[in-house]
Amino acid sequence: MHILLVEDDALLGDGVQAGLEVHGFSVAWVPDAGAAEAALAGPAFDLVILDLGLPDRDGLGLLRHWRRQGRDEPVLVLTARDGVAHRVAGLNAGADDYLEKPFDLDELVARVHALLRRAEGRAAPLVEYGRLRFDPARQQVWLDGREMALTRRERALLQALLGARGRVLSGDELADRVYGWTESVESNALAVHIHSLRRKFGEGLIETVRGEGYRLGAPP
């Protein structure tokens, strides 16, 4: 699952990103509204964690702007503003959940999981592709009814390709979905994960489109 974290506090942002990645999420961390807008113009995110106290724009105004644009990603608001009135304002602006600072990382992770379960339940509870079945909410994959052991990166890669529905994804697009923006990636890392998925599901599962990228091939 790919999360956009919008937080201007470097210490907090670094800690939240590291904590979420330990729990298996891919996190792109940006420090302000402008960078968040640029990030959302690229590959899709499954959830946004938004700090309201941004240096270049009020977080509530930014959230209202996103909702007016029709953006429907689940948004978890982080804020130092306490009190019922602030929580109500955040929810009315389009937030799906609200967490006051300081907070416990375990509670943040639990709220993220809850929002993603809710979103996946609305969107696509189960994806079937030939003999392959993928549950995005539980991050489980089966082949012929047998659960397959995949790494977090392999699951993220498979989910991105299944979600593209045959559209070609460039190497950069796939790397953003699998690793996030802020993680350094070795040049051959994506190829290693693609090779591993082909070995587990068949060479034809992922098709290389020369000069363009990759797409789903023949179903297993």
pLDDT tens for residues 140-179? 899 998 999 998 889 889 988 988 878 899 988 888 777 7
Residue closest to 39 by CA, chosen among 55, 52, 26, 21: 26
- Distance of alpha carbon 188 from alpha carbon 174, whole angstroms: 13
Q: In which element (H, E) is residue 26 found?
A: strand 26-30
Query: Which own/partner pairs from 20-25 qualify as long-range (CB within 8 Å, at least 24 positions apart)?
Result: 20/108, 20/109, 20/112, 21/180, 21/183, 23/109, 24/139, 24/152, 25/1, 25/112
Give the CATH number of domain 127-216; options: 1.10.10.10, 1.10.3720.10, 2.60.40.10, 3.20.20.10.
1.10.10.10
The confidence score (pLDDT) of residue 120 equals 67
| CATH class of this structure's domain 2-123 | alpha beta
Q: What is the structure's pLDDT at 32?
A: 96
pLDDT for 168 equals 92
Question: Cα–Cα distance between 123 and 118 in angstroms, integer?
Answer: 9
**Nearest-angstrom CA–CA distance, 138 and 115:** 13
Query: Could you tell me whether strands 127-129 and 132-135 are parallel, antiparallel, or unpaired per DSSP bridges?
Result: antiparallel
Domains of the chain by residue range: 2-123, 127-216
Q: Which residues of the chain register pLDDT less than 50?
A: 182
| pLDDT value of position 92 | 86
- pLDDT score recorded for residue 182: 46
